[in-house]
Amino acid sequence: MNKLITLFILLTIGCSSQKQKKDTKNKIKTDLDNFDLKGDVKIKKIFRLEDTIKILSSEYKFNKQGFLISKDSYHDNGKLWINDKYYYRNKKVDKIICNLPEQNRIKTKQYSYNNNEIQIEHLEKGIRSILITEIFDKENNKIYSNFNRNNDSITTYSKYNNLNKLINEKKYSKNKELLQEVNFTYDSNDLLTKMEQTNFYGEKSSYRVNYFYDGSNNRIGLDVYMNNIFESKEKILYENKMITEHHFYDKEKSEKKVIYYKYDSKGNVTYKTTRDKRTQETTVYLSVVEYYN
């Protein structure tokens, strides 16, 4: 069951439903929104810098509507690892074809729509390995999800408040055993202030995150607790409403690493520098963004 839960988390992160969700201003959220990209972005390339050498790490291409049309991931040596291509029909994702050239394998995620229900089939050589079923309410909030693999499954039920904020999620096994429950708490400004997760599979455990904000509603930090014992914390610094530094601390509140950000004139990240405070090792990523206009 633990392996199925891990696979469920990895695949649902990398393969969201593509249901067009609206934000608080009733605007359709695009992939550009999900990647926090500003302007009419056409291509984003991320390079890892080693001295004066640029090594391509990933590349994203978007259509004029702001949705992904391809995504490439590369090994540290610059060799292509995964190529994803996105195909649309009636302004919805029809399928995603994943090419793994080193393994000579092609995987397909096939989408089908029926009113408020979406099914996503993971196929290889025409054989289905995974089936994901999702159901949405009239506000396009996902209220039900079933992840099925090899006749084993995880079902998730989600609840929202009257502002369409997620407040509760429960995950169940095929045998209707409660595996995990997550609760979300918001303040009067609709800002997430606490996330509480309880895991019931294996040895019961709990995970809690408290979030903190400044007077401009910027998230400036968080504290993490495992089984009610302090585990780690983060602090975030801003300049002109953009993150400039992100600091990470361990359970002894000793700083582990810090990430520095620089931006272009449109507010998109150009440099991301990560420094390990213990080893002093530094990793620098350069983002090159091309716009439609």
Give pLDDT, residue 181: 98
pLDDT in tens, 173-186: 999 999 999 999 99
Residue 216 vs residue 11, higher pLDDT: 216
Give pLDDT, residue 25: 44
pLDDT in tens, 13-41: 444 444 555 454 445 789 999 999 999 99
Q: Which of 136, 185, 119 is nearest to 20 (CA)?
A: 136
pLDDT > 60? residue 6: no
Q: Which of 5-19, 138-152, 190-204 is predicted with the least confidence, judged by mean pLDDT?
A: 5-19
**CB contact burial 143-164 (16+ within 10 A = b; e otherwise):** eebbbbbeeebbbbebebeeee
- Compute the distance between CA of residue 27 and CA of residue 22 in angstroms, rounded to an integer: 5
Give pLDDT, residue 138: 95
Helix, strand, coil share (%) of the chain residues, nearest 5? 5, 60, 30
Phi and psi at residue 191, to the nearest 5°: -95, 135
Give pLDDT, residue 13: 40
Q: Could you identify the residue written with the tokens 């999702």?
A: 134
Give pLDDT, residue 214: 97
Q: Could you identify the residue written with the tokens 């350069």?
A: 286
Give pLDDT, residue 21: 54
pLDDT > 70? residue 2: no
Three-state DSSP class for residue 23: coil
CB 55, CB 47: distance < 8 Å: yes
Q: Which of 14-23, 132-141, 254-263 is predicted with the least confidence, judged by mean pLDDT?
A: 14-23
Query: For the residues 92-97, what does the mean pLDDT come to?
Result: 96
The mean of the pLDDT values for the chain is: 92
C-alpha dist (Å) from residue 104 to 23, 100, 126: 40, 6, 15
pLDDT in tens, 138-176: 999 999 999 999 889 999 999 999 999 999 999 999 999
Ramachandran assignment for 279, one of left (phi > 0), alpha (psi -120 to 50 degrees), beta (any other): alpha
